[in-house]
Amino acid sequence: MTNAPKFVIGLEPTQAVEFLKQKKLFVDKIKQGQRYESALARATTVARLTNLDMLRDIYQSIEQAVKDGKAFHAWKKDIVNEFERKGWVFGHDKAISRGIDGTLLADPKTGEYFGTPRRLDTIYRTNTQAAFSAGRYQRMMDNVDNRPYWQYSAVGDERTRPSHLALNGRIYRYDDPFWATFYPPNGFNCRCTVIALNDRDLKRKGLDAPDDSSEFLVEVNRPMDKQGNQEKTIGFKLPDGSVRITDKGFDYNVGRLSYKPNLDLYPEKLAHQFAKSEMRGGEFKHVYGLLEKQVGALKNDLGNKKLTTEQMVGVRNHLERNFKFAAGRLSETDQKLIGTKTATVWLSDDTLIKQFNSREGQRFGLEDYAVLPEVISSSTHLFLNENKIYFFKVIDGKVYISIVKHVEQYNELFVDSFYVSDMNKLKSFTKKYQQIK
């Protein structure tokens, strides 16, 4: 990807704060009754904690602590004082101490026991590690034109888990599907990291090209939990036939939750090249295939060819993780015609899930998404209808239509729908919507 733009590299604490802020916002989107059905909830959960207010306070306080450079013990004292103020402190555990670590934390509404502040150490370290790891992901993605190869690096001491040590030293391209599951952290208190390499680094290691992880990634079942629930995950198969998996709740790329290249800042051709690479990349293909398979399985279980609105909401709650991919950039000409200050167009996992439901039986698949950046950047016809933009373009005999929604609250553009139609649709749009191109 030699033509990819070099994005502005911000300070790591700034990017870490943005990640923690996103986790807090995710909690706001979760409904209490959906906590165990929602992938978004699982991605932001803290073990044994179901009180969403307490969870939100924890993320907000960690966000502020990272922003202020506050040490762990100062943060713990402040958050326990906040819990006490809100009535979430419930006596002391004499077996521990009379001090702050002996304080019992519980939900006053339900009496649910959360633990003692000793647990906050793991919560703090796990979330700050994830936050800084997400910041590093942003910086490495900003520099993939110079260092497109990433190497998994485990600490390698007596505290390193065998499953993490087994991945140590493995080198894959930044867009290899390996990183969709195994970008660290891969468990509580994980200390693994990723090192970015260039062609010269690769040659020093005696390699002409990075490996391809596709043949080693397999779908497996996790061991059953105490309630008898069992979920599927992606494992890494070693030469001896054994399979390594992440800890439960860590089988996703934390960097994708807050990853946000601003294609608006760069020349059209470079931004377009980046979007094309994004939509053809291994990580997008991996996420696409995973969602397609899971939606198909859930639809089959529900016995419907096409899901109802209510069923669709349930499927999306079950699968959505708030991932998004840079699907294209508006041309400067179209940007002026539309009258928008933003030009980057995003494709979310939520939209993909909806598409799998509506594309049933149609000849429309992964290869069509590879041309989405082209449809967005150089459409032949353009229509407006309230907060939606309709892009129309014929490529290789196929009539492509992409509907992009302008989310005014965040001033962002998201793909709402993408499909293949015919020339009659153009006539219909001409009659129904405002044509600006």
pLDDT tens profile 226-259: 777 778 899 999 999 999 999 988 888 888 877 8
Location of structure tokens 């016809």: 381
Cα–Cα distance measured from residue 199 to residue 209, given in angstroms and rounded to the nearest whole number: 8
**Is there a single domain that holds both residue 306 and residue 412?**
yes
- Beta strands 398-407 and 388-395 are antiparallel
**Is there a single domain that holds both residue 274 and residue 415?**
yes
**Is there a single domain that holds both residue 299 and residue 167?**
no
**Is there a single domain that holds both residue 318 and residue 187?**
no
Cα–Cα distance measured from residue 55 to residue 41, given in angstroms and rounded to the nearest whole number: 11
- Provide the residue type at 213 as one letter: S
**Is there a single domain that holds both residue 267 and residue 377?**
yes
Domain boundary, last residue among 232, 255, 278: 255
Check residue 36 and give its pLDDT. 57
Residue 131 lies in a domain: no
Report the share of the chain in percent with pLDDT over 70: 92
Residue 139 lies in a domain: no
DSSP-derived secondary structure letter, 210: -
Cα–Cα distance measured from residue 151 to residue 387, given in angstroms and rounded to the nearest whole number: 43
Residue 3 lies in a domain: no
∠8-352-421 over CA atoms, to 5°?
110
Residue 163 lies in a domain: yes
Q: Average pLDDT in the 323-344 region?
A: 92
Q: Average pLDDT in the 88-102 region?
A: 75
**Is there a single domain that holds both residue 427 and residue 298?**
yes
Task: Check: CB of residue 81 under 8 Å from CB of residue 95.
Answer: no
Contacts of 11 by beta carbon, 8 Å cutoff, 6+ apart:
none
Domain boundary, last residue among 92, 124, 156: 124
Please state, in angstroms and as integers, the Cα–Cα distance from residue 389 to each residue in 120, 300, 378, 417, following that order. Answer: 47, 33, 14, 11
Residue 5 lies in a domain: no
Domain boundary, last residue among 255, 277, 301: 255
Listed range (150-164, 318-332, 339-353, 378-392) with the worst mean pLDDT: 318-332
Cα–Cα distance measured from residue 125 to residue 375, given in angstroms and rounded to the nearest whole number: 44
Cα–Cα distance measured from residue 135 to residue 63, given in angstroms and rounded to the nearest whole number: 13
**Is there a single domain that holds both residue 236 and residue 153?**
yes
Cα–Cα distance measured from residue 386 to residue 380, given in angstroms and rounded to the nearest whole number: 20
Q: Average pLDDT in the 162-170 region?
A: 93
**Is there a single domain that holds both residue 113 and residue 47?**
yes
Residue 129 lies in a domain: no
Check residue 210 and give its pLDDT. 93
Give CA torsion, residues 372, 138, 412, 423, to 10 deg.
Answer: 0
Task: Check: CB of residue 345 under 8 Å from CB of residue 281.
Answer: no
Residue 287 lies in a domain: yes
**Is there a single domain that holds both residue 58 and residue 79?**
yes
**Is there a single domain that holds both residue 420 and residue 283?**
yes
Domain count, the chain: 3
pTM metric for this prediction: 0.77
| Confidence label for 399 from pLDDT (cuts 50, 70 and 90) | very high
Cα–Cα distance measured from residue 387 to residue 280, given in angstroms and rounded to the nearest whole number: 28
Neighbour-count burial for 84-113, b at 16+ CB within 10 Å, e otherwise: eeeebbbebeeeeeeebbbbbbbbeeeeee
| Confidence label for 4 from pLDDT (cuts 50, 70 and 90) | very low
Check residue 236 and give its pLDDT. 96
- Provide the residue type at 248 as one letter: K
Cα–Cα distance measured from residue 331 to residue 269, given in angstroms and rounded to the nearest whole number: 9
Q: Which domain holds residue 24?
A: 12-124
**Is there a single domain that holds both residue 248 and residue 206?**
yes
Residue 78 lies in a domain: yes
**Is there a single domain that holds both residue 225 and residue 267?**
no
Checking if the pLDDT of 3 tops 70, the result is no
Check residue 47 and give its pLDDT. 65
